[in-house]
Chains A and B, each alone.
Chain A
Amino acid sequence: MKLLAQGSELDGFLIGECLHSGGMAHIYHVTYAHGTHDPGFPMAMKVPRMASGDGAENIVSFEVECQIQQVLTGSHVPRFVATGDLERMPYLVMEYVAGRTLQHWLDAPQPLAVEVISRLGVAMARAAHALHLQNTVHLDLKPQNVLFRPALGAAPAGPAEHPLDSFGAAVLLDFGLSHHAHYPDLLAEQLRKAVGSPAWIAPEQVVGVRGDPRSDVFAIGVMLYQLCTGELPFGEPQTAAGIRQRLWVDPVPPRKRRADLPAWLQEIVLRCLEPEAAKRYPSAALLAFDLSHPTQVHVTTRGTRTEPTSFRTHFKRWIKAAGMHYQPSPVPTQQIEEVPIVMVAVPYRDATDATLYSLRQAVARSLGTRPGARLACVTVIPTSLSNTTHEERSETQVHRRYLTQLHQWAQPLDHPGHQTSCHVLESGDVAKALLDYAVGNQVSVIVMGAATHGLKTQRFVATVPIKVAMDAPCTVILVKQSLPFERLGARAADTSHVSTDGDLTEPAKALYGDDLGPLG
């Protein structure tokens, strides 16, 4: 394929400057030639290289990219504009996204701050999850395919200055090796050869499994490992046997290469890099959750060890890996539904035992028996509570007090199959705080009391549960109180009586004590 001349016209697009001239394709800036309709964003045209010597897989992969790019939506992928006829003049026009690829951070002269690494990881995991929710698995995530938009509200930086800690959402590029569960997989084949980039490809991809969202979790793990240590966990193998090694080999623990890394981060990175997909994060949303809540990460020896895995362990895995073969993957959205993040909003005050009991029952039902489901218990306290004249310790103390209450409430829900974490948020607007938390953490289900967080006037104003239910991005379960009578009797001695108005009037002294006092 010859280069298109700048200033020439193709199917109504005016060809601009050539942005990239790679082994697989040329990329040009384009505009509409006649200025009839303005898409409202800059556009780029990708033209695959298809000289006589080019392999057939190049064009199939371009076909796959056009097929999938057309149906993807959301801010984590470039917006689709048009495709050319594959037989006549293949091209793909899409949004040109300004920003830097992950390579920019890998090229940084100094080791990156842990906080920057985890924020980059969160952005990547959220983007991958957004893709998985559309039944698509990327399967070729690597630094050059992950782009970070400029931070919202950031002043446009000059070419020389790109502060490492300033970036926005991640955008995933190049769907040429991707898999969409609703379309025939043109890259699938009986022989099931590995398709992907050797340094980042997941073990199951090596044996031909296409379509498992946990393969993307693995690739993000490789990139996190690079961000932490500056090295590739499995090197850059050039042979099929070299690539196959990751079916049984654990990488050198990142903390051996960089001593100042916290154990929680190593725990996260190595969990992403588990050879068996079932031992990794079951969804990218759960990975993002751990990265954004370091104190809630359950650190095991995986996070603390600094010695490489023993020969014995590797040898046992090697035997097992010899039998690994292709198995079809479940549909991504079904797989994600199996591992929901369940969020429960527990009122910090004014809740009766009956309400708290019913909330707990509803949460237990929502978690079901699904191993891998995650529970986030959230309580929102008003800013005024910690905004005292005392020293800065007071905020921590207030948080700790509510955190302890939350832990006590959640304790009966503790189950080895689920991870539970507790979070105290501070905000004047309870509904907004809950919604922001749900959106930010890709929560699958919100459980809250139908008449909690409320006032007596709830029949006349939109209460917190109603606001949350109307604006939530996910299912909201509104729980009505029900407590077996015998339990009510048993608690009557130490709790104030349950009024007919339910949980609206009486502070639950038994749980929260007297010292909190009413609000304001």
Chain B
Amino acid sequence: MKLALLSDVHSNLHALEACLSHARAQGAQQFAFLGDLVGYGAQPSEVLECVMDLQARGAWVLRGNHEEVALEPPPAAHHLGDMGAQWTHQQLNPRQRGWLAALPLTQSVEAVLLVHASVNQPERWRYVDSPQAATASLDAAREWPQARYVFGGHVHAQTLYYRGAVGQLMPFQPQAGVAIPVPRHRHWLATVGSVGQPRDGNPQAMYAFFDGDAALLTFHRVHYDHAAAADAIRRAGLPEFFAARLELGR
């Protein structure tokens, strides 16, 4: 199975389309969306239609924290995030809201376990940003005995965690485009990065590609028209900050 892992699209249709076509060119047979389809960006409705269409053809889709706030936005906007959530809420039609509400928190397929944040209480949206947090997530994944690979998003960074020689988890910063052997006799945890809002100073979209038969995991960076995505945000009247950060990748 060749699986494209996409997370944190954040209503960025330009980035999503670029990643989808990149993944198809790599031979992707299956797509997994690890939550946070909406929030921040200008095209929540278009992104949802695209992903709903893929789901109808077999793609797996999970719920993230931004789905939750878009469904029930805070009544008063205290910061930019609240304002974005209210705006997103208004953009979605009842059918789309109903679809979002039905999304699961985790999905397990053979050796792969998918989650938005941490397997350790997924509904708490814990950040997996350290070996300790990764260990907690991987430990919680023992509930799925067949799981060898835990793939998540939420942190907007691409990191692979693996067990070192004495059993502790070690973080590894992957090189984009390099296929990393991830043999099945070990347990692996990867955060796949963000399609629609990279924050590492590089505006290119992030996703990961898992080849289950060959046991290879590749982290990709994909060029997309971030200027167009930023323009769309400005035209929608959303905060300038959301537009500017796409151009800088921050």
Contact = CB atoms under 8 A, between A and B. Distances in A.
Interface stretch (A20-28, A179-187, A284-292): A179-187
Contact of B180 (A86, A87, A182, A188): A182
A186 B160 CA distance: 12
B146 to A, nearest CB: 14
A190 B165 CA distance: 9
Interface residues of B, number: 16
Contact of A190 (B162, B164, B183): B164
Interface string B212-248: 0000000000000000000000000000000000000
A67 interface: yes
A189 interface: yes
Interface in A24-57: 56-57
B165 A184 contact: no
A181 B175 CA distance: 9
A191 B166 contact: yes
Contact of B165 (A70, A86, A182, A187): A187
Given A186-B162, A187-B165, A86 B181 contact: no
B172 interface: yes
A189 B180 contact: no
Contacts of A86: 183, 185
Contacts of B175: 181-182
A184 B183 contact: no
Interface string B143-185: 0000000000000000010101110101010110010110111
Contacts of A188: 164-165, 170
Contacts of A183: 172, 178, 180-181
Contacts of A191: 166
B180 A57 contact: no
Nearest to A181: B175
Nearest to A67: B181
B184 A184 contact: no
A324 interface: no
Nearest to A190: B168
B183 A63 contact: yes
A60 interface: yes
Contact of B164 (A67, A87, A181, A189): A189
A182 B185 contact: no
Given A182-B175, A184-B160, A186-B162, A87 B168 contact: no
Interface residues of A, number: 19
A191 B164 CA distance: 10
Given A184-B160, A184-B172, A189 B184 contact: no
A421 B115 CA distance: 60
A187 to B, nearest CB: 6
A181 B164 CA distance: 15
A186 B168 CA distance: 11
A182 B177 CA distance: 10
A60 B184 CA distance: 14
Interface in A154-193: 181-191
A190 B181 contact: no
Nearest to B188: A184
A188 B172 CA distance: 11
Contacts of B183: 63, 86
Interface in B18-75: none
A184 B159 CA distance: 11
Contacts of B165: 56-57, 60, 186-189
Contacts of A187: 164-165
A32 B174 CA distance: 36
Contact of A184 (B166, B168, B170, B185): B170
Contacts of A56: 165
B60 to A, nearest CB: 26
Nearest to B131: A190
Interface in A49-83: 56-57, 60, 63, 67, 70
A87 B184 contact: yes
A61 B181 CA distance: 14
Interface in B114-130: none
Contacts of B160: 184
A209 to B, nearest CB: 15
Given A184-B162, A186-B165, A189-B168, A87 B185 contact: yes
Sort A-B residue pairs by CB-CB distance and give the 7 closest, nearest first: A189-B165, A184-B172, A189-B164, A182-B178, A189-B166, A184-B162, A182-B175
Given A60-B165, A189-B166, 16 more contacts: A57-B165, A67-B181, A86-B183, A183-B172, A183-B178, A183-B181, A184-B170, A184-B172, A184-B180, A185-B164, A186-B162, A186-B164, A188-B170, A190-B164, A190-B166, A190-B168
9 contacts: A56-B165, A182-B180, A183-B172, A184-B160, A186-B165, A189-B166, A190-B164, A190-B166, A191-B166
Interface of A: 56-57, 60, 63, 67, 70, 86-87, 181-191
